[in-house]
Structure 1
Amino acid sequence: MTGVDIEQFSFTRLLNGNLDWTVIFSADHALSWSQIRRHIFLLANKIEQSEFNCWILASDSPRFFLVGMLALIVAKKEILLPPNNLTGTLSETIQGAQAMLTDLDAGTNLPVFSLAEIEGEPEYIEISIESDAQFIQICTSGSSGEPKQIRKSLATLETELRCLETRWGALVKNKVAISTVSHQHIYGLLFRVLWPVMAGRAFVEENVEYPEQIPSLAKKYGELILISSPAYLKRMADVLDKDVMQNMVKVIYSSGGPLLQDTAIFYAEHFSLTPIEVLGSTETGGIAYRQQKAQEEVLWHKFDEVQIRRDSKNGVLSIKSPFCFSDDWYAMGDEVELMSAATFKLLGRLDRIVKLEEKRISLDRMETILSQNELIEQAKVTVLTGHRTILGGVCVLTEVGTQLLAQLSRREFSERLREYLADYFDRVTLPRKWRYVADFPYNSQGKLTQAELTRLFDEEPHD
């Protein structure tokens, strides 16, 4: 099924619809919408009989996740998505949760309902979803690692899905979505699961963990859309199959952080495929998009539905958007320069301006300068608190850097980096601790939190 009217992008239309198409490719078989819808209504009939209103939904499978989410919507329950599906997380009490819908061994004290297939035939009834009055709560750690619960209406999701189809519907039509990111967070939820289903397209159930999966998926399912993150795209650039990427992967989306310009240019030059970057957050939904080009600083272009403004005092970006959990202007943590009414340049996060020894330091600028050194492939700088506040540097080394580190002690190597930075920053502000890693500890969404960076400094490294 293709060509769904954008104005019909709604949960009511989807769940009442009797059209059929292949919606999920799972292992060696395909699942039709009628099969998925049957499972949804059987599960909804069971959930409706319960007394619980607020449900945790947890599944590693986007197929079962979709079934569970839509069953809870049919049953008019509120949905709560945990930040991850790890046993420790699911065993904790999440504020407001009364029951759990899962196919995992959760180890929780809450009543647990199974997502597994149910025998029988459901009672299909005409349903009307009051999308302004039904909500989904998304637990997110944010950049600091502190958990937050963001409550968004189904109407907010529907509006953003209509925006995506308006912007890129013709580009992705008749193509199958594959993904390296989890469906448990807003980016994966929208791009990997809900958008394909609303538009009458299909997605692949299995996660793309390794580059060699992509040729196999292309052979099975034809032209593909890759839903990914900056971390994956950078890590896998050199080992992806050039022929498949050029001929079978038609669109790449990237979110979770800015994509390095070198990585974007590599994909454009080697695969004739420039990733579409989407800027946004759990709180705001999508804000803007861009496609980077060689020798050119590409601006972020806001979505038509989003309003933007810059605070005259601190330069922070504020947005007002129908995709946002708040109806009011919402201040982001990013300093920007507005280039027009619709475009802007990101200058860095305000929470990455720190004060050390009475001196203001931009961690973003320090990372950029470090990454320009021939020894450093990528660098992150983080604040370490304790007896005194200092900076810590975490670096992925180039081949030259790796060879030099093998010849010197860690202390000598680190001192070379400090000497290099001393040309740009006051010595009292330079990183005092260093860690050298093969890759940064990104989470499943391709994000790098303050907590994960700080954890690298819990133990002293060994030479």
Structure 2
Amino acid sequence: MADWLALEEVAVRPHAGRPFVLADGAARDHAAFHARTRGWHAAFAARAGQAWALYFDDAGEFAAALYGAWHAGKTVVLAGDALPGTQARLQGEVAGFAGDWPASAEPLSAAGGEDGLAAWQALDPEATRLVVHTSGSTGEPAAIGKRLRQLASEVRALESALGAGLRGAAVHGTVSHQHIYGLLFRVLWPLAAGRAIVPRAFFPEDLLAAMVDHDVVLVASPAHLKRMPSQLDWASLHGRLRAVFSSGGALPAEAALAAARLLGTAPTEILGSSETGGIAWRRWDSEQPAWRPLPGVDWRVQEGALEVRSPHLPQPEWWRSQDRAEADWQGGFRLLGRADRIVKVEERRVSLDALERQLQSHPGVREARVLLLGGARTTLAAVVVPEGDAPDMHDAPGRRALSQKLSAHLARHQDAVTRPRRWRFVPALPTNAQGKVTEAALTALFRPERPTPHWTRRGPAHAHAELRLDPELAVFDGHFPQAAILPGVAQLDWAIQLAREAFPLPPRFLRMEALKFQRVARPGDLIQLDLEWQAERRTLSFRYVSVHGPHASGRVVFGHDD
């Protein structure tokens, strides 16, 4: 680690002559990083307030703003995105916003010149703070404070365990630096080690094109590694791809070994969380590698649960995880599933992990997640990614037959009470920006956008349906929290969807005519929808009414592709 810089000194004495950012075929060195950092320092130093929210699309500019804020004595709040809802949630927690926020946020910009200070002192590792937000298992963001001391110890541990052979390699990634994994692997670790940062790539074709001309490191997530198109020329990277890292969720063995064959480099998986920092690592150069602790991390298994103690934690006490584990004979450990995934259904204890393993043992299942849905009666539900093309998942009878087949498969180990009652079949599990499959995203699959219609009339030109507006419909989310109403755009969309079920409409939407909204519709209302199709004019008329009176009406004109 002769060329190593402590994180607290990165902006005080940058790596001389080393590239800092590689972008668009050009390189910027650490002197450019130093100048941008001083510009951001001047901007932050001129503003009051302690905490500032940062969001940047560009990792290089983010790094400069991060260090500029830290040297100005600010606490940096890392936002996972720049959506209006995120901004509104942070409004009461921060003094301002810096970076690529909407114009309404009045974001802070870097000052044009130097800050006037001849020299800086190294950052105080205890006083320098960062706040990250983790999505958690429910999708509700939780704020977690970090000191620079914790981040520095973790970066040093990563270099000690995994840095051999990475000198001179540029760091590419598919994950965002706005989350803790991307922050460490795509910004802080490269800054300390003097490796070049490369802008994030979203598509496999762009990623491959960016990596062809130099030695590289790839920072990815399981979601990306599982979906790498085999037809691309990944073999062109063989011999130059120094390392592939994966974190943010479990990397299935099949996907890890397939990525190793495709890329010519076995992925290295990192175990950790926003709360704990890095815990352990394993390289997929064998079928089922054990986890090995990062340097400085102590671990033990207590009552079947993994406990860790490390300088990455805020306090020196043991921290108990919700992972069940057992010691490996080579000094590492293996995970046995989550200890907190035992649920009760009709007073029966059910292991969601066991159900998922049983589903995935079926030859027609690639991946599966099981969850407990709340409501008047708790219900087990399963989200399944079928193996192969699975044409039978594309229509209702096929999906019903597939769910019956999987339920019969589970019947060998589970009775009717402990088997899923609701099913969703999807081409891929839903993931968030960190590549994690969250309970919130899975639950959303079971919340329909529109109610099931009760048809009372369906003729060649006229149809009538009753729609009960269940308060749990996903379409009510955000419209509006204080008094939920049915959005007008949803009423138009429902009318067209249901008309396509009732009549042979032409494929193309041409225009909207005479749209009128007269009265809001609320959760619990029973709405009557009248549809009239005039085939010769290719015009659909619709009208929503209830006991409260008329709600909306309009005409839609359709046409053919020719």
Q: Please give the TM-score of this superposition, normalised by the length of structure 2.
A: 0.76
In structure 2, C-alpha distance between the alignment counterparts of 1:93 and 1:210, rounded to whole Å:
30
Q: Distance in 2 between matches of 1:438 and 1:90?
A: 32
8 A Cα contact 1:375 1:400, kept in partner: no
Q: Which has the larger radius of gyration?
A: 2
| C-alpha separation in 2, matches of 1:353 and 1:106 | 46
Structure 2 distance, partners of 1:124, 1:40, is: 14
Q: Are the equivalent residues in 2 in contact too, given 1:42–1:122 (CA < 8 A)?
A: no
Picking from 409, 416, 422, the partner of 2:405 is 416
| Aligned pair partner of 1:217 in 210, 213, 224 | 210
- Residue 331 of structure 1: aligned partner: 320
2:198 counterpart residue number: 204
Indicate the residue corresponding to 2:353 in structure 1. Answer: 364
Q: How does 1:368-407 map to 2 (within 5 A)?
A: 368-399=357-388, 401-403=390-392
Where do residues 152-231 of structure 1 align in structure 2 (5 Å cutoff)? 152-205=146-199, 207-220=200-213, 222-231=214-223
Q: Quote the Cα distance in structure 2 between the aligned partners of 1:54 and 1:377.
A: 45
How far the C-alpha of 1:348 sits from its partner, in A, is: 0.7
Partner SS state of residue 202, structure 1: coil
Q: Distance in 2 between matches of 1:93 and 1:18?
A: 35
Task: Tell me which amino acid in the other structure corresponds to 1:135.
Answer: R
Deviation at 1:18, TM superposition (A): 6.7
Structure 2 unpaired stretches of 5+: 453-500, 502-562
Over 3 Å counting, the alpha-carbon distance change for 1:247 and 1:17 in structure 2 is closer
Partner of 1:146: 140
Amino acid at match of 1:125: A
The letter of the residue matching 1:310 is V
Q: Which residue of 2 aligns with 1:232?
A: 224
Match of 2:250 among 246, 252, 258: 258
For residues 246-274 of structure 1, the C-alpha deviation after alignment (integer angstroms, 9 at most, x for no partner) is 23322100001121111122233344311
**2:300 aligned partner:** 309
Question: Structure 1's 317 and 121: CA in aligned 2 closer, same or farther, altered over 3 A?
Answer: closer
Q: CA deviation at 1:403?
A: 4.2
Contact 2:10/2:191, CA 8 A, preserved across alignment: no
Task: Evaluate the alpha carbon distance shift between residue 73 and residue 4 of structure 1 in structure 2; reply closer, same or farther with a 3 A threshold.
Answer: farther
Q: What SS class does the counterpart of residue 390 from structure 2 fall into?
A: helix
CA 1:394–1:243: 2 relative to 1, 3 Å: same
8 Å contact kept, 1:374–1:401: no
Say whether residues 1:58 and 2:58 are aligned partners. no
Q: How many residues align?
A: 452
Measure, in 1, the Cα distance between the counterparts of 2:196 and 2:264.
24
Instruction: Write the letter of the residue equivalent to 2:203.
Output: Y
TM-score by length of structure 1 reads: 0.91
1:70 lines up with 2:67 in the alignment: yes
How many Å separate the matches in 2 of 1:390 and 1:384? Answer: 5
Secondary structure of residue in 1 paired with 2:226: helix
Identify which range, 370-379 or 396-405, moves more after superposition.
Answer: 396-405
More helix by share: 1
Q: 2:101 aligns with which of 97, 101, 104?
A: 104
Over 3 Å counting, the alpha-carbon distance change for 1:370 and 1:106 in structure 2 is: farther
Following superposition, the deviation at residue 460 of structure 1 comes to: 7.3
Q: Calculate percent identity across the aligned residue pairs.
A: 33
Question: Which amino acid counterpart does residue 298 of structure 1 have in structure 2?
Answer: P
Structure 1: which amino acid aligns with 2:149?
A
The AA in structure 2 aligned to 1:114 is: S
**Pair 1:15-2:12 in alignment:** yes
Distance 1:245 1:134, change over 3 A: same
1:133 corresponds to 2:127 = yes
Equivalent AA in structure 1 for residue 355 of structure 2 = M
Cα offset, 1:275, TM superposition: 0.2
Which is further off, 153-162 or 261-270? Answer: 261-270
Aligned to 2:34: 37
Give the 5 Å matches for 1:334-353: 334-339=323-328, 342-353=331-342
Preserved CA contact (<8 Å) 2:342 2:352: yes
Is residue 14–residue 31 contact of structure 2 (8 Å, CA) maintained in 1? no
CA deviation profile, 1:153-180 (whole Å, cap 9, x unmatched): 0011111111111112222111011000
The answer to whether the aligner puts 1:444 opposite 2:436 as a matched pair is no
| Cα drift, residue 345 of structure 1 | 1.0
| Residue equivalent to 2:536 | none
Question: Aligned residue for 1:114?
Answer: 109
* Structure 1 residue 237, shift from structure 2 partner: 5.1
- The amino acid of 2:55's aligned partner reads A
Deviation string 1:267-315 (CA, Å, 9 cap, x unpaired) is 3334431100000001111100112345x43211111211112222xx2
Provide closer, same or farther for how the CA distance between residues 246 and 75 of structure 1 changes in structure 2, counting only shifts above 3 A.
same
Which amino acid in the other structure matches residue 249 of structure 1? L
Q: Is the 8 A contact 1:91 1:107 kept in 2?
A: no
Unaligned 5+ runs, structure 1:
none
Change (3 A) 1:339 1:106: farther
Q: Is the 8 A contact 1:179 1:226 kept in 2?
A: yes
Q: What residue in structure 2 maps to residue 298 of structure 1?
A: 289
Answer whether contact 1:405 1:413 (CA < 8 A) is retained. Answer: no
**CA contact 1:42–1:123 (8 Å) conserved in 2:** no
1-structure distance, mates of 2:25, 2:401: 55
Displacement after TM superposition at 1:324 (Å): 1.7
Alignment partners' CA distance in 1, 2:67 and 2:86: 23
Q: Are residues 1:284 and 2:281 paired? A: no
Q: Secondary structure at the match of 2:12?
A: helix
Farther off after superposition, 419-428 or 95-104: 95-104
